[in-house]
Amino acid sequence: MKSVQHTRSPSDIPTFFSTGGAVCGLLQKMDWSASPLGDPQGWSAGLKAVMTTLLPAQAQIVLFWGPHYAALYNDAYAPSIGHKHPHALGQPAHIHWRELWDDLEPLLRGVRETGQTFSAKNRPFYIERHGLGETVYFDVSYSAVREADDTVGGVLCIVNETTERVRFQRRQAFLLELGQTLPRLGAAERIGDHAARRLAEELGAARVCFGEDLGEGQRVRIAHEWAAETPSILGDHSYASFDPTLYDVLKSGQQVRRNYAEAEPRSPALQGLGGVLHVPVMRADRLEAMLAVHYKQPRLFVEDECLLVEETAKQVWAAITHARAERALHMLNERLEERVADMLAQREASMLQLHEARKMEMIGQLTGGIAHDLNNMLTPIIASLELVRRQSDKERTVRLIDGGLQAAERARNLVGRLLSFARRQTLKPQPVALALLVEDMHELMARSLGPTISLQVRIDPALPAVLVDSHQLELALLNLVINARDAMPEGGKLTIAAGLDGDGPALPEGLVAGKQVWLQVADSGGGMSDEVLGRCIEPFYSTKGVGKGSGLGLPMVQGLAVQSGGGFAICSRVGEGTEATLWLPTSAAGLPSSEPSPVQAPRAQGPIKVLLVDDEALVRQATLLQLRDLGYDVAEADCAARALALVEQGWVPDVLVTDHVMTEMTGVRFAQRLRERMAGLPVLIITGYANLTPRELHGFEVLRKPFRQDELAQSLAHLLAQKG
């Protein structure tokens, strides 16, 4: 609409413009030569008639007329389009509704072409009416307006904005679900992490994190976070690292809302973000915690969403403090149980109730413990045989030593499988050929299935290799096969197939096409109902009865797929069987050789001092000999305390090699203490029983027992090269 206003004499003003109201006044003064509708005096009788009804109406009504969908509306409708009014009056809709035109135009065209009414309740629309875009909701009814010749001249839209109601209902539903879920999670860590993820999903945020004020008015500890395509900020931060005034504003009980222009400078913690919302959690006028919601793009911070974040922060902090109190009470009860004899009976009863759920965990711990001892025995065996072989020149002796090394290597692989079963081993992804892996397992699977179930394998050997921990994949596949067997008590057919993501089941949401291979286990059993299918991935949920299943098989399979960068899905129909499908990422590297060629172990480059700490004398002595054979200057200690004493006496190591599982202090803890004295000291953790997460390792390099001399040499060379 042009800004120039035209004064008309009363006789020139159409009667349907005289019904009063602000919009009527604007219509009277418009320059209609800039509108595709032309002079109102020349409008059709149908358009004039509908305008006579539309303008004085109290309902929110907009009319889109003609092939250009020129917009005409009344006073009641104007607030719903914000700053688009009054410029949208008389103009083609695609000009001022451009951000939602791809959504709106098909609806209008459908009514115009068919003459049929379109209606919907709480219909979402994305609209820019207050600067930034937002999703709003309307009850809508779009009807055709016909001309005298029965053709459709325009679309009359009667709308009622329900945005506030929808947002209120969604907020209440979210808070209700959160209030029911958080108490069941138990641990404070799980509560904070779950709330951060759910809030990010609800608001479409790039990062949600929950921080606890450290009490000195300077720093906040971020211990719970969910982030997508945004760097993690877990750890301790100063408030000023987010915003210089953040602490003062939060301490006063106010929220901090801010949008950043693309080139506007911001702190490192907020790099790549467009909008941030920080909400305080107060108790007795004291700032106790902060909930931060970060967005990739600038955000219109509507009050209802800000209220949702505020209420969520209160719920989460209350749940976390309650969980901590329960944990403290639980620990106190445990101490009391140890000291009061009459509590032992109650404790035994509780243990019996948890027996089935913990059976697999106990077996895993036992297996892991045995594997740990075996690794400690194998380490000096392998080291000693290697050192003897390097000094022996008799052909028969070399043959015997090679046989001993091969047997030790097989034992090492067996221990790896034990640890994999016990879920006590960090994943070690490597290129795996699915056809070869399934072929190697064929006999084991056939024996597990029994004679009444036929096993068919359809896997092209030419499929690309996948990047996954082969031992964990074997365990996952065996889990699926056993599940299928239990679903076919009368016998049946089991099919294992694989293929590229384009020639099989649809990819799960979030996976990139062209980079995944699917592996499917399908049975002809009785299938699952929708209720069972909906819960079958839940940990500890099992339909097999007491003593026949722990309910951890499918969650472990899903965890392996997701942790490996793939996905997992299961579909089932009653009477038709079940299909369980893993998606695994393809590997850019080639398959490892089945018979690895000998690698020359890199020797020490110059005088390099190694501090070796291990409480197992045999392991320590074997490792000492290996290191000295590689040319390193080694000082040894059987515990962390003696190692610290060596350092205090003047021994300055260039690298630390330490066992992890030691009686007085773990290797990781000892390495951290030594790093406080010697920043940047290269650290190699050796262990035969490790399920440490990257966060628990604090960035230290890990070498699993038992190890070959070349593996030890390569690890040290890599660490020293990084140090430069």
Shared domain for 209 and 302, answered yes or no, is yes
The percentage of residues in the chain with a pLDDT greater than 70, rounded to a whole number, is 80
Domain boundary at 526, 552, 585, which?
585
- Which band of pLDDT confidence, cut at 50, 70 and 90, is reported for residue 666? confident
Distance, CA of 182 to CA of 323 (rounded, Å): 10
pLDDT surpassing 80 at residue 600: no
**Average pLDDT of the chain, as a whole number:** 82
Residue 451's pLDDT is 87
Kindly state whether residue 3 falls inside one of the protein's structural domains. Answer: no
- Which band of pLDDT confidence, cut at 50, 70 and 90, is reported for residue 102? very high
The average pLDDT across 498-510 equals 82
Residue 103's pLDDT is 94
Residue-wise pLDDT tens digits, 228-287: 878 899 999 999 989 889 999 999 989 999 998 888 888 888 888 989 999 999 988 899
Residue 15's pLDDT is 75
Kindly state whether residue 347 falls inside one of the protein's structural domains. Answer: no
| 706: preceding bond cis by omega (within 30 degrees) | yes
Q: Which two tokens stand for residue 152?
A: 């459709």
**Residue with token string 């109601």:** 165
pLDDT surpassing 50 at residue 657: yes
Domain total in the chain: 4
Shared domain for 313 and 171, answered yes or no, is yes
Residue-wise pLDDT tens digits, 421-430: 444 455 667 8
Report the amino acid identity of residue 709. Q
Residue 383's pLDDT is 63
Closest alpha carbon to 570 in 536, 602, 620: 536
**Residue with token string 């914000």:** 82
Q: Helices 470-486 & 553-563, crossing angle to 10 degrees? A: 150
Shared domain for 566 and 606, answered yes or no, is no
Shared domain for 136 and 195, answered yes or no, is no
Q: What is the CA radius of gyration of the chain?
A: 35
Kindly state whether residue 185 falls inside one of the protein's structural domains. Answer: yes
**Residue with token string 């294992």:** 496
Shared domain for 184 and 313, answered yes or no, is yes
Task: Say which CATH number the domain at 502 has.
Answer: 3.30.565.10
Residue-wise pLDDT tens digits, 346-404: 666 555 555 544 544 545 454 555 555 566 556 666 666 666 666 656 665 665 566 56
Residue 523's pLDDT is 92
Residue 21's pLDDT is 85
Shared domain for 155 and 31, answered yes or no, is yes
Shared domain for 200 and 249, answered yes or no, is yes
Residue 503's pLDDT is 79
Report the amino acid identity of residue 235. G
Distance, CA of 253 to CA of 258 (rounded, Å): 16
Q: Bridge partners of 494?
A: 455, 523
**φ, ψ for residue 696 (rounded to 5)?**
-70, -30
Kindly state whether residue 1 falls inside one of the protein's structural domains. Answer: no
Residue 271's pLDDT is 87
pLDDT surpassing 70 at residue 435: yes
Residue 413's pLDDT is 55
pLDDT surpassing 70 at residue 724: no
Shared domain for 172 and 284, answered yes or no, is yes
Residue 667's pLDDT is 86
The average pLDDT across 55-59 equals 92
Shared domain for 216 and 233, answered yes or no, is yes
Higher local confidence (pLDDT), 456 or 15 = 456
Domain boundary at 543, 562, 585, which?
585
The average pLDDT across 208-216 equals 91
Q: How far is CA 563 from the centre of its chain?
A: 10
Residue 368's pLDDT is 54
Residue 597's pLDDT is 45
Supply the range of the domain harboring residue 185: 167-329
pLDDT surpassing 90 at residue 68: yes
Residue 20's pLDDT is 72
Cα 679–681–683 angle (5° rounding)?
A: 135
Contact 183, 319 (CB under 8 A): yes
Kindly state whether residue 343 falls inside one of the protein's structural domains. Answer: no
Task: Say which CATH number the domain at 671 has.
Answer: 3.40.50.2300
Contact 496, 459 (CB under 8 A): yes
Shared domain for 634 and 707, answered yes or no, is yes
pLDDT surpassing 80 at residue 22: yes
Residue-wise pLDDT tens digits, 443-481: 888 888 888 999 999 999 989 899 888 888 888 888 888
Considering 35-44, 266-275, 333-342, the range whose residues carry the highest mean pLDDT is 35-44
For the ranges 38-42, 122-126, 379-383, the lowest mean pLDDT is seen at 379-383
Q: Is 688 helix (H, G, I), strand (E, B) or coil?
A: coil
Task: Say which CATH number the domain at 76 has.
Answer: 3.30.450.20
Residue 143's pLDDT is 96
Higher local confidence (pLDDT), 113 or 511 = 113
Kindly state whether residue 512 falls inside one of the protein's structural domains. Answer: yes
Kindly state whether residue 590 falls inside one of the protein's structural domains. Answer: no
Domain boundary at 585, 608, 633, which?
585
Closest alpha carbon to 222 in 354, 214, 404, 230: 214
Shared domain for 484 and 572, answered yes or no, is yes
Task: Say which CATH number the domain at 201 has.
Answer: 3.30.450.40
Residue-wise pLDDT tens digits, 300-321: 888 888 999 999 999 999 999 9
- The string of DSSP codes covering 81-132 is GGGGTTTTTTSBHHHHSGGGHHHHHHHHHHHHHH---EEEEEEEEEEEEESE
Residue-wise pLDDT tens digits, 521-568: 999 988 888 888 777 776 556 665 544 454 556 777 877 788 778 888
C-alpha neighbours within 13 Å on the C-beta side of residue 580:
25
Residue 595's pLDDT is 46
Kindly state whether residue 499 falls inside one of the protein's structural domains. Answer: yes
Residue-wise pLDDT tens digits, 623-649: 898 899 889 999 999 998 999 999 999
Q: What are the CA-CA distances from residue 387 to residues 483, 500, 627 (Å)?
A: 47, 47, 11
The answer for residues whose C-beta is within 8 angstroms of residue 615's C-beta and 6 or more apart is 638, 639, 659, 662, 663
Higher local confidence (pLDDT), 387 or 415 = 387
Shared domain for 19 and 142, answered yes or no, is yes
Contact 487, 554 (CB under 8 A): no
Considering 73-87, 461-475, 705-719, the range whose residues carry the highest mean pLDDT is 73-87
pLDDT surpassing 60 at residue 99: yes
Residue-wise pLDDT tens digits, 171-203: 899 999 998 999 888 888 899 899 999 999 999
